[in-house]
């Protein structure tokens, strides 16, 4: 069963063709990074206009590189939320029209379910149950995954997402957008132990996150440092970036390990754009190895927003009886608890 997956939830126009929820025939992403770079973040109005320009060529490329035509498709899966309304609308209405004209099912997919399940695009997936950390520019959440279609939220950020903190700190450091990649790069030559930025643990045993405190603390530090405070001669920009990254990594790893312990699972999954971060992956592997926990992270192309994870989630819903609803609409907020359990 060939499913075309479309995601236009934020600033990437993405389309992919996946067979039976496993074999990725194509995975095309048109990034808008250069467009938003001067603004240090995504400008929603520009993003939706760019999706309008890109959606047809991206879908055509996804079909062409899979060596298929629309007639070879058995369904279309499209992200309906959460995300930017103007961006989501482009993907949804394009998908509806294409499905209607081709007389194939069109399924609305939750973007977060896509991230949670993205690990199943890889050869060796985890066994159930497991705990999943989805960590990106829009979300930082921990889920207990009982099986496909059954998720329980264990904790989430109370303010900024981890990726958002990376993006904001990068902006203050003048490193541009997207911040995660830039911070990771400059951190390589920095000393991660140079400055100890605060880690918000919240209540004992809390599985929630908070990144606004660390973001503000780094911003204040940078302001003083730029005004040539005491540390100006001994602390480099790389040291600040590395110390910030270390604080975020610490918190993410600690909470994911705690969630695994509370849930009593021996496998954890980490996905979403921030999960591309090598320092984070290494720290997680080390902490998990000490506790006999297996770590599963999709490759970077399946961590950042992509159509393949949407095709995969759509496949599982379609094969479990989900039906086309051409009246469906986009949702800026769409917690996974509101999904129909499978
Ligand atoms: O999953 P994603 O592509 O889009 C959302 O759904 O948000 O994630 C994008 C986020 C951005 O905030 C970006 O700065 C962050 O992921 N990111 C990283 C890295 N690569 C992307 N953060 C840390 N280290 C990275 N290597
Ligand atoms: Zn995402």
Rg (CA), the chain: 20
What does the DSSP assignment read for 245-261?
HHHHHHHHHHHHHHHHH
Pocket of ligand 1 contains residue 274 by CB under 6 Å: yes
Q: Nearest to residue 139, comparing CAs of 113, 157, 119, 116?
A: 157
Pocket of ligand 1 contains residue 272 by CB under 6 Å: yes
Beta bridge partners of 142: 133, 155
- Find all residues with CB under 8 Å of 337, minimum gap 6, and list them: 151, 152, 153
For tokens 């770079």, the residue is 37
Q: Are 205 and 254 in contact (CB under 8 A)?
A: no
For tokens 């695009």, the residue is 121
Q: Are 145 and 130 in contact (CB under 8 A)?
A: yes
DSSP class of 209: B
User: Residue 111 C-alpha to ligand 1 middle, in angstroms?
Assistant: 14
- Tell me the pLDDT of the chain (342 aa) as tens digits: 999 999 999 999 999 999 999 999 999 999 998 898 888 788 999 999 999 999 999 999 999 999 999 999 999 999 999 999 999 999 999 999 999 999 999 999 999 999 999 999 999 999 999 999 999 999 999 999 999 999 999 999 999 999 999 999 999 999 988 899 999 999 999 999 999 999 988 988 899 999 999 999 999 999 999 887 767 779 999 999 999 999 999 999 999 999 999 999 999 999 999 999 999 999 999 999 999 999 999 999 999 999 999 999 999 999 999 988 899 999 999 999 899 888
Q: Are 332 and 314 in contact (CB under 8 A)?
A: no
* Pocket probe mutation, ligand 1, options 273, 303, 332, max atoms within 8 Å of Cβ: 273
Q: Nearest to residue 301, comparing CAs of 65, 28, 83, 4?
A: 28
Q: Whose CA is nearest to atom 22 of ligand 1?
A: 180
Pocket of ligand 1 contains residue 181 by CB under 6 Å: yes
For the chain, give me the number of helices (H) and strands (E)?
11, 10
Pocket of ligand 1 contains residue 138 by CB under 6 Å: yes
Q: Nearest to residue 10, comparing CAs of 53, 63, 40, 46?
A: 46
How many Å from the N-terminal Cα to the C-terminal Cα in the chain?
19
């Amino acid at each position: 069963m060939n499913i075309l997956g479309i995601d236009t939830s934020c600033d990437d126009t993405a389309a992919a063709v996946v067979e039976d929820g496993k074999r990725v025939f194509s995975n095309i992403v048109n990034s808008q990074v250069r467009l938003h770079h001067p603004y240090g973040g995504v400008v929603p109005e520009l993003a939706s206009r760019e999706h309008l320009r890109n959606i047809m060529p991206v879908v055509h490329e996804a079909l062409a590189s899979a060596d298929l035509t629309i007639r070879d498709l058995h369904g279309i899966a499209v992200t309906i939320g959460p995300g930017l309304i103007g961006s989501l609308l482009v993907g949804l209405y394009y998908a509806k029209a294409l499905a209607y004209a081709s007389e194939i099912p069109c399924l609305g997919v939750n973007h977060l379910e896509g991230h949670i399940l993205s690990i199943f695009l890889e050869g060796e997936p985890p066994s159930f149950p497991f705990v999943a950390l989805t960590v990106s520019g829009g979300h930082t959440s921990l889920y207990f995954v009982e099986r496909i279609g059954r998720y329980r939220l264990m904790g989430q950020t109370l303010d900024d997402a981890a990726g958002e903190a990376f993006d904001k700190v990068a902006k203050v450091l003048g490193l541009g957008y997207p911040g995660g990649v830039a911070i990771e790069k400059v951190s390589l030559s920095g000393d991660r132990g140079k400055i100890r930025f605060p880690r918000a643990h919240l209540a004992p045993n809390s599985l929630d996150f908070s990144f606004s405190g660390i973001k503000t603390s780094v911003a204040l530090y940078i302001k003083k440092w730029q005004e040539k405070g005491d540390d100006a001669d001994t602390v480099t920009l790389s040291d600040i970036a590395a110390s910030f990254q270390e604080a975020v990594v610490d918190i993410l790893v600690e909470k994911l390990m705690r969630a695994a312990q509370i849930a009593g699972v021996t496998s954890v999954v980490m996905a979403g754009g921030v999960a591309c971060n090598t320092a984070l992956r290494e720290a997680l592997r080390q902490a998990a190895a000490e506790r006999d926990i297996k770590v599963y992270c999709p490759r970077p192309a399946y961590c950042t927003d992509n159509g393949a994870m949407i095709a995969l989630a759509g496949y599982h819903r379609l094969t479990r009886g989900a039906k086309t609803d051409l009246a469906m609409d986009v949702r800026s907020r769409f917690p996974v608890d509101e999904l129909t359990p499978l």
